[in-house]
Structure 1
Amino acid sequence: MDVTGSVLSSDDNSPLPSATIYEKGTANTSITDVNGTYKISVENSQAVLVFSFVGYVEQEFTVGVKSSINVSLNPNVRDLDQAIVMGYGNQKRSKISGSVSTLDSKEITSIPILRTEQALQGRSAGVQVTQNSGQPGSAQSIRIRGTGSINNSEPLFVVDGIPSFGIDYLNPADIESMTILKDAASAAIYGARGGNGVVLVTTKKGAVNQPAQITYDTYYGMQEPWKKVALLNAEQYAIIMNESRASAGLNPDPALSNPSLLGEGTDWQDAIFQRAPMISHSFSFSRGTENSSTALGASYFLQDGIVGGEKGRFERYTFRVNTTQSGGKKFRLGQNINYT
């Protein structure tokens, strides 16, 4: 059955061109034209249509017996009012005209990662993160909108307002948010140093009048190759070699004359690859009063390699202290200490 209708904005009833309409649970999709109208064919009356548009709250409707569904989408005010850390300070997302991407602490810690740079993988358009080696703890290469120089194309890292050579020393659980400035307008305050883009990192701090809060996170996992190459065993290899020599008019190799005596042989993939553990412990404490705030963090991370085991081990200890004391509206003293 066919369903038609229009998609409008609840603010001024203006049409929303290129709004997306899709049947939930299927790949059946349609978009609105310049007048905000659409047409989509669904399987039956139980189908659920999902209406979405950038900057608006998504809505769902069950088709039922209706052949026409008109939808009025509400603006996503929460996203527009989100505070974004910029070079010039905090700004609302709705007032930012440059190309900026943000990650909050939930997104950063949603998957187990070894290095903080790995949190950027696949999370932001135009940002490419590659691992230079398969060894645990190896460096990551970050490219924002391609390679900008034949020399150093790494972006500028700014941690709590202080330029840094990297962020590999940070514990991902200690990060409050990460902001990526991609274009020239957003990174202009940093001059030539921001030519390859800028990554702004804000670490967690204690809040004013915050009760004492203790957090402990841990996980344990095992790593192994997800797929191995299918190879011949010793007996199968001998049979194939003898057949190839016979096809070429040669006598069988004396060492392979009786393949059944060779058995399975050695599976070198099993000999080289092994299961490797990955362990993480993270502890944090924060509290605040009317004039001061304190945040402490400590972590331990260990990862063995699937090749070499303990010989490829990566082990990291981190400790962080962040305190702030306020002496009125015009005076504030803070300390930020990181040890890795």
Structure 2
Amino acid sequence: MVEFDDYGPEKVFEVYNAKVGMHGFVVIDNTALGPGKGGIRMTPTVSRTEVSRLARAMTWKNALAGIPFGGAKAGIIADDRQITQKEKDELVASFAKALKPVCPEFYVGGPDMNMAEHEMEVYANANGNNMSCTGKPASMGGLPHELGSTAFGCFHSMKVGLKHQGKSVERITVAIEGFGNVGWFMAKFVTEAGGKVVAVSDSRGVIYHKDGLDFEKLASVKKDEGTVTKYGEGEVLPAHEIISIDCDVLVTAAIPDLIGPKDVDKIKAKLIVQGSNIPMSFEDEKRLHEKGVLIIPDFVANAGGVISSWAESIGKDKKFMFKAVEEKIVKNTQEVLTRAEKEGKAPREVAVQIAKERVLGKCKTCRV
């Protein structure tokens, strides 16, 4: 069910194409700051409710990032593990054509779960407008998310959080939920900075080693075997146990609603960096905050992807993009954590308030 409030959503579309079996959604939440910007995910369970929640998160994320985009999100219902690449391309192309009336004037797409550089190329070509999405191949003027922009932002957000706690990355242990684009690059950046990645998960389970995992070996095993659980050393655990690993930092980098009410007391990490979108409810965030766990909210930590999208939309290169990601993420994380401590609030409360202030300054349709 899609919930409407004073900020949006402004538009909700559900589109079909029976011939190719395409069924998808787009929720354009708020366009006060510019066209709605948000990725297109492809999963067998994606729903209007999920897309709507993510679209609102994008409204706050883009506002907090200080870029000229509103918030939106899209989803295509399909299991890409059960279809060929040709069939997947047909679904993406059909979806892009169905959104022509609103894209790119009101909605700009981008990569998300199971949707990467190739799919953005298919989407842009089918839509007929190169500005219809970001994350395209470099040959199309794109800055592919495969460059690691989202994880780069998460990494710098984590460093700010650690400094806030009086720690440094060289002396920490990290557990990473998910080993897709964000998790892969996060493990790389942490390792290169001297931190110790002690656990990583994917859909098949967790690989845990208290002395640390070798990133190059981990990446090779994932590529060759399809799962980190084939690492060969350490302990293999059920996937959900990633949340209860004894570590300094837990990075969420895959699924929404990872942490539920029953999980709050299982978490040992003192810093959670939300590289994934909506990994827990705000109620559970508040409970963890009260227990002394510092949480850097999703739309603060993982805004590197949308900052990269903005850089692509104005024709900048990857050097400009990485510099912009670091500067904006560091500044925003510092502002949120400093103000949260001063006001005695959870970081998300403060981050949402800052984002609302920026949206309301330009919003002509908000009832506030």
Q: For the superposition of Structure 1 and Structure 2, which TM-score range results when normalised by the shorter chain?
A: under 0.3
Q: Normalising by structure 1, what TM-score?
A: 0.22
TM-score, normalised by the number of residues in structure 2 = 0.21
Larger proportion of strand? 1
Task: Tell me which structure has the larger Cα radius of gyration.
Answer: 1
More helix by share: 2
Higher relative contact order (CA 8 A, sep 6+): 2
